Amino acid sequence: MFCPRCGSQIIGEYAKFCHNCGHALPYVPAGGQYYPQSITRTQAGKRSKVKDGNAVAIVAIFIVLMLAVVGVVGLSQVEKYTISSKEIETQAITDDTYFELSGDFLSRNEVFTVSLTNDGKIAFTLNDSISSKYAYYSWWLFDKDHVSSTNEFSYTEYTGERLEKTQPVLYYLSQKPGEYSVSVDCYTGSGGKYSYAATYSGTVTYVGYITKEYAWEYKGSPYSAQVTFKYDEYSVYRDMKVNSRAVIFYSMSASFVTYDNPVIVRLAISLLEAYGIGRDTTGPDFASFVLAFVQICFDYPPNSILMDADKYQYGQKEYFAYPLETIFHGMGDCEDMSILAASLFKILGYKAGIVILPGHALAAVGLEGYMPEPKDSYEIIAQSINGVIYYACEVTADSVQEIGLIDVVDCNGHPYSWHVGKNGYGFYTV
């Protein structure tokens, strides 16, 4: 759905206003449409929240949105439109997957073509009328979703991959949905003696389906889950508030918990199915099951004295990621995985939140009749808020770590629990 004023994508079937321009959205009866169909990719703003009591209803509403993986067929149909004075052309792959083209990839320029090959690659090809003028090519490809660093021990900004060849075509290794900037320097000559002649460049966004599959063990039994989403469902979050991902106030961390996002809802449904139909999904054990999924199935980015995790993954010293970004990359630091876990808890009917401590973040879940068993080298971190006891959840553990139990860490001369409620540290509910 798209805003009739600014064209921004509306996330959430029942959103009442546009989070980009603030325009009030009219009531839409079932099957009705009020938004333009011609715009297929724009920026969006902050996501709307739903009331606490609607968590179970959300699961029921969005269960019909479970996606099936769609096969790739031949290319057809071209649609043109303009975003921020930049001409965009869409080239259909299937009914709901497509390329977005700009620059020299626009068909009227007759420079490049792009296609999916039968052996599982993306082919960027110079047209014969262009390539016939040259003998040697230096290709450059920048994958916008590539992690920023290529070295575990020092920060190295990713600047793309370069390949020199005599063929006028560049094959990407896999048919991976993503946004790619491509340029080629063309040379004339022969026998190893070449002279630069021209450069052609453009951008291709492959909007297709991505499937993430997970496997983990909980209490001695194996489990699996999966979620499928389209690339533009992820990229709208990637492009949101790009320059302001470091929070000023700790309470802002809760704004990244997107428990009304359809993709996160589908993942929550997959966890429900994995846990088992008919089992109790309201108590501590299911909450622990969900926490174990996050702990085991998502990695912590490489970090060292010279480079912290956010610098490695996003090229910024501090970067709070939306859950779909963490799912896309399969990794995140403590606040990223805490935000993902809190989103899943909230969707699945639990009271949830984020815990901010000095240099660390945790998820929080509200539970009744629960008390973790004290263990050596662990402390219990919990807080009662509006009659509900919220327990901190350590998401960065590599194995199952019990809800409420946190490693005892000497932080500024005190354990973590000492800081709760001081200097803005503590629990922030969603």
Token pair listed for 172: 């990407």
CA–CA distance, 35 with 196 (Å, rounded to integer): 48
> In the chain, which stretches have pLDDT less than 70?
1-85
pLDDT at 44: 28
| CA 91 to chain CA mean position, Å | 24
Distances 130 to 18, 114, 137 between C-alpha atoms, Å: 44, 15, 12
**Three state DSSP letters for 371-416:** CCCCCCCEEECEEEECCEEEEEECCCCCCCCCCCEEECCCECCECH
Residue 62 lies in a domain: no
Q: How far apart are CA 170 and CA 413, in angstroms?
A: 57
Residue 201 sits in the same domain as residue 216: no
Q: Which DSSP symbol is given to 104?
A: T
What confidence score (pLDDT) does residue 3 get? 52
270: enclosing H helix or E strand: helix 262-275
Angle value at C-alpha 327, between 154 and 406, nearest 5 degrees: 75
pTM: 0.80
Q: What are phi and psi of 215, to 5 degrees?
A: -145, 135
Query: 352 and 226 share a domain?
Result: yes
The last residue of one of the domains, among 207, 226, 261, is: 207
Work out the end-to-end distance of the chain between its first and last CA atoms, rounded to an integer number of angstroms. Answer: 25
Task: Give the tens place of pLDDT for each residue, 172-202.
Answer: 988 999 999 999 999 999 988 999 999 999 9
Q: How many domains does the chain have?
A: 2
Same-domain status, 195 and 262: no
312 in the same domain as 242: yes
Decide if 129 is inside a domain: yes
Convert the pLDDT of each residue in 205-259 to its tens digit.
Answer: 999 999 999 999 999 999 999 999 999 999 999 999 877 798 989 999 999 999 9
| Residue type at position 397 | A
Same domain, 114 and 134: yes
Among 240, 231, 235, smallest CA distance to 47 is for 240
The verdict on 201 and 231 lying in the same domain is: no
Largest CA distance in the chain: 80
- Joined together, the tokens standing for residue 75 give 């290319």
Tell me, yes or no, whether 287 lies in a domain: yes
Residues 311 and 354 in one domain: yes
Is the same domain home to 279 and 368? yes
Distance CA 339, CA 290 (A): 13
Is there a contact between 236 and 43 (Cβ–Cβ < 8 Å)?
yes
Q: Are residues 186 and 156 in the same domain?
A: yes
Count Cβ atoms below 10 Å from residue 19 Cβ, excluding itself.
19
What pLDDT is recorded for position 22?
A: 45
What are the distances in angstroms from CA 355 to CA 382, 418, 419?
10, 13, 11
Nearest residue to 204 (alpha-carbon basis) of 117, 138, 105: 105
pLDDT at site 244? 79
pLDDT of residue 79: 62
Is the CB of residue 55 less than 8 Å from the CB of residue 272? no
CATH number of the CATH domain containing 203: 2.60.40.10
228 with 283, same domain?
Answer: yes
**To which residue do tokens 């190295």 refer?**
156
Same domain (yes/no): 246, 391: yes
Predicted pLDDT of residue 69: 29
CA-angle at 427, arms to 250 and 366, nearest 5°: 145
- What range does the domain containing 297 cover? 212-429
The 3-state DSSP composition of the chain as helix, strand, coil percent (nearest 5) reads: 20, 30, 45
